[in-house]
Amino acid sequence: MFKKLIGQRAFSTSFSWFLKASIEGNGKVVSVNEGSKDPLKFPGIWLRDNCQCEVCYSENAQSRRIDYSDFSFKVKAENVEITDKVLNVNWSDNHKSAYHIDWLTDRSFTKEKQEQYLNEFYRPPYQTWGKSKFKDVVKYFEFDEVIRDDKVLKEWIETLSTYGIALIRNTPKDKTVARTLANRIGFIRQTTYGEEYVVQAKPNATNQAYLSAKLQWHIDLPYYEYAPGVNLLHFYEQTKTKGGSNIIVDGFNIAERIKNQHPEDYQVLCEVVVDWNDITVEQDIPYHNIWRAPVINLDADGNCTRINFSIPQRDSHFNVDVDKVIRWYEAFGKFVNMVKEETMLFKVNEGDILTFSNVRLLHGREAYDDSDANVRYVVGAYMDWDIIYSKWRVLKNQLANRH
């Protein structure tokens, strides 16, 4: 017996000979021991819920199909054993389940494994940057490489997700390149302003974006519950005069700075709900949008998910307790001061596409001189992060399988 084990160990990379399973906590936990490693603990109810048999799980749909009208929340493991790297469990509801050890390890409840999974498959973790780091952060991608090469497409998405900004250069002289780029990932996100929108000075414009005057920091459409995630701005023509530079600030960096330097103001900006609104007429259709949310929005882990910021699109209706108003302006004032300090000015070259996270980067534009001889013509299109992250995961799997 001893010889046989040694032999298996010598000729196989598998450690299945060393696997042991046991029941703990009165049937509520199944423990899997792999050699000398810390045992992996799996809650019994989670195992039962994730049974991989044909009745409980659809391989085709890759989703659970267990009938919850019959599901027992008091189910217990009654018997466990491991054979050929498969954990077999007999349950108190008379069901039997089998789980491959690789499947279990991949879903281990250890912090390490979970962080690895989330970083690899949820989203690339974001990195904040201040004005002084802008030069290191800004990366250029070649338009035809993004279109042609999946690896480059994936790198662009990762850069956009990590830093909130990336540039694409050497585009064809064509007003449809923003659409081509969006279609490379998925599809354009339509808004009140259509699919593609043109930013140029228009006589008698109602929206600040369509004037050649300065456009101060903002995110687009903060008055949408589902604000567009990413902005693709194709500089079809760029003004040749001194003005017209883009104004860019990493809003997540401001949130981080204010959290460190003024934690109480940070709290106020995370909690006080602001009314963002837009009343407009587009293509003869009237719109009236309102979304209520704080300036800094966090996920359940405390990471920034969205910044809301717009001076024109912040409503004079401020539906909070009156004693919170002055306090909010104090905190907002500190936020604005930091935004000023971190404001980066740079002029996008004609033909480039500036791509950035609309829910992270405050952006704007310096005034410029608009005349027949000096034109600025920008074609914009939005995309949703859901579609972008989805493409990123699909690409990751496809590229991994090719090797």
| Residue count (the chain) | 403
Rank residues 50 and 176 by Cβ distance to Zn ion and give the closer one. Answer: 50
Rank residues 96 and 317 by Cβ distance to Zn ion and give the closer one. Answer: 96
Could you tell me which stretch among 11-19, 45-53, 111-119, 206-214 binds Zn ion (CB under 5 A)? 45-53
**Nearest-approach distance from CB 41 to Zn ion, in angstroms:** 21
Rank residues 65 and 340 by Cβ distance to Zn ion and give the closer one. Answer: 65
Contact present, 257 and 129 (Cβ < 8 Å): no
Q: How far apart are CA 354 and CA 234, in angstroms?
A: 6
Q: Nearest to residue 245, comparing CAs of 146, 354, 91, 342?
A: 354
- Is 77 one of the binding residues for Zn ion (CB under 5 A)? no
Rank residues 37 and 96 by Cβ distance to Zn ion and give the closer one. Answer: 96
Give the per-residue SS3 of 210-237: HCCCCEEEECCCCCCCCCCCEEEEEEEE
**Nearest-approach distance from CB 108 to Zn ion, in angstroms:** 21
- Is 56 one of the binding residues for Zn ion (CB under 5 A)? yes
Could you tell me which stretch among 47-55, 161-169, 241-249, 363-371 binds Zn ion (CB under 5 A)? 47-55
Rounded alpha-carbon distances, angstroms, from residue 167 to 52, 128, 163, 236: 44, 17, 12, 14
- Is 147 one of the binding residues for Zn ion (CB under 5 A)? no
Rank residues 56 and 147 by Cβ distance to Zn ion and give the closer one. Answer: 56
**Nearest-approach distance from CB 97 to Zn ion, in angstroms:** 5
- Is 53 one of the binding residues for Zn ion (CB under 5 A)? yes
**Nearest-approach distance from CB 298 to Zn ion, in angstroms:** 38
Residues 6 or more apart whose Cβ sits within 8 Å of residue 50: 56, 57, 64, 99, 107
- Is 45 one of the binding residues for Zn ion (CB under 5 A)? no
Could you tell me which stretch among 16-24, 52-60, 124-132, 344-352 binds Zn ion (CB under 5 A)? 52-60
Could you tell me which stretch among 51-59, 118-126, 137-145, 317-325 binds Zn ion (CB under 5 A)? 51-59
Contact present, 146 and 351 (Cβ < 8 Å): no
Total residues interacting with Zn ion, rule: CB under 5 A? 4
Rounded alpha-carbon distances, angstroms, from residue 157 to 63, 365, 401: 27, 24, 19
For every residue of 313-377, DSSP letters joined together read TB-S---S-HHHHHHHHHHHHHHHHHHHHT-EEEPPPTT-EEEEETTTEEEEE-----BTTB--E
> Would you report the helix, strand and coil content of the chain in percent, each value rounded to 5?
35, 30, 35
Rank residues 52 and 374 by Cβ distance to Zn ion and give the closer one. Answer: 52
Torsion angle defined by CA atoms of residues 12, 15, 16 and 22, in that order, rounded to the nearest 10 degrees: 170
Rank residues 75 and 209 by Cβ distance to Zn ion and give the closer one. Answer: 75
Could you tell me which stretch among 55-63, 223-231, 234-242, 381-389 binds Zn ion (CB under 5 A)? 55-63
Chosen residue from 19, 30, 32, 51 binding Zn ion by CB under 5 A: 51
**Nearest-approach distance from CB 19 to Zn ion, in angstroms:** 21
Task: Kindly list the residues in this chain that would bind Zn ion in the complex (CB under 5 A).
Answer: 51, 53, 55-56
